[in-house]
Structure 1
Amino acid sequence: MTRLTRRTGMRRLAALAFLPLAACIDEPGDGADDGEPDDENGDPAASLTTDVHHVDAWSVGLDWDYRERPGVCLLIEDPDDAVPLLEDVGEGTEAFVRETDFSESALLYVESIGPDACHDRLAFEEFSLEKGTVVGEAAVVGTADDDEVCSTVLTYPRAFVRVTADPLPAAAEITLTDGNGEQGTVRSDDDAVEPDPAD
């Protein structure tokens, strides 16, 4: 059986951006962020709750260009589509995905970059649901003590966000600030994960 690698898996995820289903973190229970709909800009009749699960940062990220964008986000509506993102994670992350009821929730995967090993976490602001799109803000933050020496290696902080809403979002949009202070807006339909030219 051919092993599904992170790169081949992400090529499949990227292809989902063209389908009606949208292709859009420590251990479980480390924090939740519940947002309320915005009556002016959001969907007043929609309910929205979010649960953030941080995943240990990678030293190698997904196949996107950090020189052109601050990160990527993917909206996952089927558990099989999350499999390529679970290659190097702990049991807590696997359980978080496994316990997601995809009839009521979707998973938002967000990844950015930090300049060193100490910028290894994403901090999220409140989420809202606007015209079928889950909207939020996130920034890479440092977790080191003031006197801690940080390894100068590019680091890719990442997180899953369980989004429970009625109706479920069809897309995601995140205002993302990377560890270098560069800010931009990333969407789940950006098709930012590059295909492998050797494929």
Structure 2
Amino acid sequence: MIRRTRRAVLCGLGAGGVAALAGCTSEGDPGTGGGSDGGDGDNSDPDPETAVHQVGGPLSGPAWRREERRGLCALITEESDAAWLLREAPAETVAFVEATDFDESVLAYVESVGPTTCHDAVSFADVAVEDGTLVASAKVEGPGDETVACGQAITFSGAFLRVTTDSRPESIRVSVTDGWGETSEVTGEDGVRDPEALPGGVRPDGDPEALPASFECEREGFERHPQAYDGEVDWGGGGGVGGDDGGDTGTGDRGPLALRAVIPGDDDPASEPLSVGRGTAFRIELTNVSGREVHVGNRGKYNLEILTEAGWTEIRGGDEDATFEYTDEAIAVRPGETLAWEFEMTEEGLVEGGPHADDLHVCPDLVPGRYRFVFFGADDLAVAFDYVG
């Protein structure tokens, strides 16, 4: 049985170097492994035993974006570390992972991209454990024969490398040469996605131009949806439910989840950033930028608020006998996966299709000001935008 864990270590390449990790193999042979001289130390092994399983397609989705980085690598120290990769894996891949004795071995999963359909394997050399770090050089292999017909298509692939050693590694570092012949070193310090490269924004700069004194509803018996979060919010990022922070994600102290408000036209230099007009369709996106699964609660667990002189006020509510209950569940968000909420900036468009849509209403009508979305189905994550009417 595969159990949830937080011990996987990911590494990826930034835009400064192109990397491809289509598989892990020995020198020139996609089906074998090999070692070479490594470092000395109490937790070192210059020549571990290796074995390779080529997956073919990318098990991550791929989780990463080729424009942001060129590869992904995971160090797997127990079977449950690979759970998020095996959801749709071929039976042979699942069998390879299950056949690994994690008391004696670890797995490295590597994945990247090449320029043709023939760039679907990687040769490995210089595999060693140096002071607790699994190191290797890897090269994406092309057709090897000019007479082979290859389709001209960007091709993602992945592979597992099994490393058997008494000196169990705790991190990973790989020098990778991709299908275009470019080389770069990858480590386990980066997450799967770069939060700075995500579309959208967190909140407008400066104070809002409009700040209403209050947001009072005159409808008889109207009761506001409760503000279910406790205290301060985490702007733009944080952890999942139950302290599920994803471990060491390499994304700073914001945690594994990144929340963004994506407004049409924000990429237009002439437009006001994070500003919407009446009837504008926009979305809120929650992305797992880390290298492991993170769990969140019911997707309906959010507040929609306006900033008034009295503070943040929920804009939705219902009749006095309305109840706002949510199921208690944990939804797994894969590395690189994005959850989205779609809205239209009208009284109806902010509740239509959402939780308790039949019972909730925006009251009073929308007024210009600063609004925010708070997802209390995770670590009270928030983004804000301005409504200009």
2:119/2:155 contact within 8 Å kept: yes
2:36/2:125 contact within 8 Å kept: no
Which residue number corresponds to residue 171 of structure 1?
171
Matches within 5 A, 1:127-142: 127-142=127-142
1:70/1:184 contact within 8 Å kept: no
1:118/1:143 contact within 8 Å kept: yes
2:106 partner SS: strand
- Report Cα offsets for 1:27-84 as digits up to 9, x if no partner: xxx833232553xx34376442221221223498522132343311101122122133
Matches within 5 A, 1:44-193: 46-47=44-45, 48-58=48-58, 61-143=61-143, 145-193=145-193
- Report Cα offsets for 1:132-169 as digits up to 9, x if no partner: 00100111111364233322221112110111222310
1:117/1:152 contact within 8 Å kept: yes
Which residue number corresponds to residue 41 of structure 2?
43
1:64 partner SS: coil
Call closer, same or farther: CA 1:157–1:82 in 2, change over 3 Å: same
Q: Which runs of 5+ in 1 are unaligned?
A: 1-11
Amino acid paired to 2:69: R
Could you tell which deviates more after superposition, 151-160 or 189-198? Answer: 189-198
Amino acid paired to 1:143: P
2:57 partner SS: strand
Q: Tell which structure's C-alpha radius of gyration is larger.
A: 2
Could you tell which deviates more after superposition, 161-170 or 84-93? Answer: 84-93
Give the structure with the larger helix fraction: 1
Call closer, same or farther: CA 1:61–1:151 in 2, change over 3 Å: farther
1:124/1:136 contact within 8 Å kept: yes
Could you tell which deviates more after superposition, 142-151 or 182-191? Answer: 142-151
Call closer, same or farther: CA 1:136–1:148 in 2, change over 3 Å: same
Matches within 5 A, 1:17-36: 21-24=7-10, 31-36=31-36
Q: In structure 2, what is the Cα distance between the partners aligned to 1:171 and 1:114?
A: 26
Q: Which runs of 5+ in 2 are unaligned?
A: 11-22, 24-29, 194-288, 290-335, 341-389
Amino acid paired to 2:148: E
Q: CA RMSD for the aligned pairs?
A: 2.7
- Report Cα offsets for 1:110-133 as digits up to 9, x if no partner: 111101111111111120111100
Amino acid paired to 1:169: P
Amino acid paired to 1:156: F
1:22/1:170 contact within 8 Å kept: no
Which residue number corresponds to residue 8 of structure 1?
none
Amino acid paired to 1:81: D
Q: In structure 2, what is the Cα distance between the partners aligned to 1:146 and 1:77?
A: 40
1:59/1:153 contact within 8 Å kept: no
Call closer, same or farther: CA 1:135–1:170 in 2, change over 3 Å: same
1:149 partner SS: coil
Aligned: 1:198 with 2:339: yes
The alignment's TM-score, normalised by the length of structure 2, stands at 0.41
Could you tell which deviates more after superposition, 59-68 or 117-126? Answer: 59-68
